[in-house]
Amino acid sequence: MSANSRPEKELPIISKPANQALDLAGYYKLEQFTEVTEAELLKLHGMGPKGIRMLKAALQERGLSFAKKS
């Protein structure tokens, strides 16, 4: 996939491994995280607790949150 065909990213800069994990999983917009739980994101190789905290803070700034555990 070329850089030109990718959607515009609006995610915070976390760590390189975490950002790559999110890219590979197709996460580009904060609103996408309202449909996934923290536990599901932690399963991505490269994503850790610090990345989750940073995403959670960015979501809260917009009045959003991760999906609740079912």
- pTM for this entry: 0.82
> Encoding tokens for residue 53?
């905290």
> Digits of tens for pLDDT over the chain (70 positions)?
444 445 566 788 899 999 999 999 999 999 999 999 999 999 999 999 999 999 999 999 999 999 998 6
17 CB burial (10 A radius; 0-12, 13-18, 19+): middle
Q: What's the rounded Cα separation, in Å, for the pair 70 and 58?
A: 23
Total number of residues shown for the chain:
70
**CA–CA distance, 25 with 3 (Å, rounded to integer):** 16
